[in-house]
Structure 1
C-alpha cells in the first residue's frame, strides 16, 4: 500500500497505534482480572512508552523481515493481493509479538529470575489476540484509513509521466 518512505511512516504510525493500544488494553485487562472503563485510559500511559518501541522495531527491522518471509510464502508477482496482505500480516505478527512481549516483560512485568518463563507466557497469551486483532480488525481498519489519506487515484496521477 505505501508507495514511498513518507507513506510507510504514516502507515506504520497508524498501525502501531491500533495494534499497540489494543494489545495494551488486553494486557491490562489480563492483569486486573477483566476489562473495565479505567483500562482504556490507563492504556494511554503505556502507549507513550510502547508506541515508539513498536514503531522503531516495525519500521526499521520487522517490516523488512516480514516482507521477505511473506515473499517466500507467496509469489508477489502472481498471487491475489489478499494473499500478499495475509502473508505480510502473519509474518509481522510472528515477529512483533515476541519482540513487543519482550519489551513489556522488561518494562512492566518485574520478572526477576523467572524472566524467560514470564516472557514466554506473555508471548503465548499475546499471540492469539495479536494475530486475530491484526487480521480481522486492525489491518483492515488501518488499510481503510490509509486508502482515504492516500487515495490510489492520486498515487496513479503522481506516477504517470507528464505529457
Structure 2
C-alpha cells in the first residue's frame, strides 16, 4: 500500500504553481520560483553572465582594478588569505612588483595560494619609487604618486 504522503506528479506540480503564485512577481514565469527552490548551486548575481565568483553578492567582479586620479594611480588586487607581513612589494626600472604566499592550513590540507604580478608605470608621469602598499582584509592596495609637471 502506498503512503499517503506521496503525491502524484500532477498534484505536486499544481501545488508548486500555487506556491509560486504567492511568492513571485506576477509577470514571472510560473516555474521560476520552483527552479530557484530546487537549485543545487548558489543563485547567480546575474544569470546572463558567467561570474568568476558565484558566491559574490555585491561589489566588483574582477580580482583587480587600476584607477588613475589627478595625484596618483591606485591598484586594488584581491589576495585572500594573505597577511600584510607576507606581502612583498618592490620597484625596479619603472615597474612595481608584488609577491605573496598565503598561509598554509595543515588541518585542511591547504598549502595556501601564491600571488604575484607587476605593473609598469611611465617614469615621466609616475614616481614608482614612491609606491605605498597596504594589505587590508585580503586586499592589496597600491598607490603610486604622479610626478608634478
TM range (shorter): under 0.3
Query: Of the two structures, which has the highest relative contact order with CA contacts closer than 8 Å and spacing of 6 or more?
Result: 1
Give the number of the structure whose alpha-carbon radius of gyration is greater: 2
Higher relative strand content = 2
TM-score when normalising by structure 1 = 0.22
Higher relative helix content = 1
TM-score when normalising by structure 2 = 0.24
